[in-house]
Amino acid sequence: MRAVLEYWPSLAQGLWVTIWVALCIIVGGALGALVLGPLRLSGTPAIRVAAMLFIEFIRGPSALVLLFWVFYALPLLPGMPRLSPIVAAILVLALDGAVYGAEIVRAGIETVHRGQTDACHALGLSKVQSLTKVILPQALSQVVPAFGSLARDMVKWTAIVSFVGVQDVLYVANNVRGQTFETASVFCLLAVAYWILCLMCSAAFRALEHVLPLNRALRAGRSSVQAAPEADVLAGAAQ
């Protein structure tokens, strides 16, 4: 273990790369899901089918196969750019997160009562205004917890970026293992690192759930309901 700890600066740098990639793909996946999810429910059949085909096209192959294709095969096509390892990794994993998150967003939107959409139309709101100002804020109370679970998986997805040369914590750990031959110690540290990152991700999404407008309103409603019987008891005692 002491030999492994001598490489701590390199491991810390690799851990920072992992954190950076995880943040990028979670944010990118969330933004992509917020676009693809509503498109899956579009009233225009062509848009709805195109969104569904795109989701299935990205979701079908393994993320590792898709990463190899984008990094190694895509540049062989005429006019296609050669992406750097970290850009290719973030692009592929963010797209993968977006297509899985799109189904979460779609399901969340469908939980909002149809009457909300009818009320928006009656008030003269456009479809975009209805979605962004009324439907999505209510759906987020269902979307965020489920996407938080997906985000924890996305943190673990970052382990595959080392296969295209991104010097993340797994890449560095493998180098350290090869130099120290401390396989058990290295992978125990690696397991602890991923465990801590997943705990941090869970804590961030729980904090986000706490500040959602609908959840705050529900907590305020429960507090008022609980306070009412106490007020009645006090009033009866005073009489």
Stronger pLDDT, 190 or 225, i.e. the higher one: 190
Q: State residue 28's pLDDT score.
A: 95
% of the chain surpassing 90 pLDDT: 33
pLDDT at 229 over 80: no
**Number of helical (H) and strand (E) elements in the chain, helices listed first:** 11, 0
CA distances from 112 to 11, 152, 179, 226 (A): 46, 26, 56, 26
Is the four-CA dihedral 168, 196, 28, 50 of positive or negative sign?
positive
pLDDT band at 236 (very low <50, low <70, confident <90, very high): low
* Distance of alpha carbon 208 from alpha carbon 59, whole angstroms: 27
Determine the average pLDDT of the residues in 153-165.
Answer: 91
Q: Where are the domains of the chain?
A: 2-238
pLDDT at 20 over 90: yes
Q: State residue 133's pLDDT score.
A: 80
Q: State residue 220's pLDDT score.
A: 59
Determine the average pLDDT of the residues in 163-190.
Answer: 86
Match domain 2-238 to its CATH number in 1.10.10.60, 1.10.3720.10, 3.40.630.10, 3.40.50.1220. 1.10.3720.10
Determine the average pLDDT of the residues in 143-160.
Answer: 91
Instruction: Give the type of residue at 147.
Output: F
Determine the average pLDDT of the residues in 32-48.
Answer: 88
Token pair of 69 as six digits = 């294709």
Q: State residue 200's pLDDT score.
A: 93
* Distance of alpha carbon 63 from alpha carbon 33, whole angstroms: 17
pLDDT at 62 over 90: no
Mean of pLDDT over the chain: 83
pLDDT band at 3 (very low <50, low <70, confident <90, very high): low
Determine the average pLDDT of the residues in 132-156.
Answer: 86
pLDDT at 227 over 60: no
Q: State residue 113's pLDDT score.
A: 78
% of the chain surpassing 70 pLDDT: 87
pLDDT at 8 over 60: yes
Q: State residue 234's pLDDT score.
A: 44
Determine the average pLDDT of the residues in 202-212.
Answer: 86
Instruction: Give the type of residue at 26.
Output: I
pLDDT band at 233 (very low <50, low <70, confident <90, very high): very low
Helix (H, G, I), strand (E, B) or coil at 86: helix
Stronger pLDDT, 219 or 185, i.e. the higher one: 185
pLDDT digits (tens, 9 = 90+) for 66-105: 999 999 988 888 888 888 999 999 999 999 999 999 999 9
Token pair of 141 as six digits = 């109370």
